[in-house]
């Protein structure tokens, strides 16, 4: 990307998960979440959706607890990102 101007500040380079693998602590079901572009984050579900899980709220046997997922970094894909603050060049500013 070529942008005319001056970079006046830069944040630290940070990792962001593009494809995040989450695993249920109770039934070991693995799901993959795709994180949106930009500054958005992937939304981790509150309830397990495993095939062996029965819904306790529907009157079945108790299944996986609430918030059962943990992130598995070995199966996830990460990308580095950084924020830059830009200032336009003084020659580009129109005079009044």
Express each pLDDT in 25-49 by its tens digit. Answer: 888 889 999 988 878 888 888 888 7
What pLDDT does residue 60 have? 35
Query: Over the chain, what is the mean pLDDT?
Result: 82
Q: Cα separation of 17 and 76, whole Å?
A: 7
Res. 59 pLDDT band, cuts 50 70 90: very low
**Could you tell me where the DSSP H helices lie in 46-86?**
none
Instruction: Identify the weakest region by mean pLDDT among 13-17, 66-70, 77-81, 92-96.
Output: 92-96
Q: Quote the tokens at residue 64.
A: 């996986």
Q: Give CA–CA dist 96/32, Å, rounded.
A: 54
pLDDT band, very low/low/confident/very high, at 61 (cuts 50, 70, 90): very low
pTM of the complete model: 0.65
The upper half-sphere exposure of residue 50, i.e. CA atoms within 13 Å in the direction of its Cβ, equals 20
């Amino acid at each position: 990307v070529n942008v005319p101007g001056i970079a006046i500040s830069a944040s630290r380079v940070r990792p962001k998960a593009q494809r995040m693998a989450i695993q249920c602590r109770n039934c070991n079901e693995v799901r993959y979440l795709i994180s949106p572009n930009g500054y958005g984050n992937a939304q981790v579900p509150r309830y397990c959706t495993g095939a062996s899980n029965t819904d306790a709220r529907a009157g079945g046997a108790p299944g996986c607890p609430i918030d059962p997922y943990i992130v598995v970094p070995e199966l996830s894909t990460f990308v580095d990102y950084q924020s830059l603050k830009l200032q336009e060049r003084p020659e580009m500013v129109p005079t009044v």
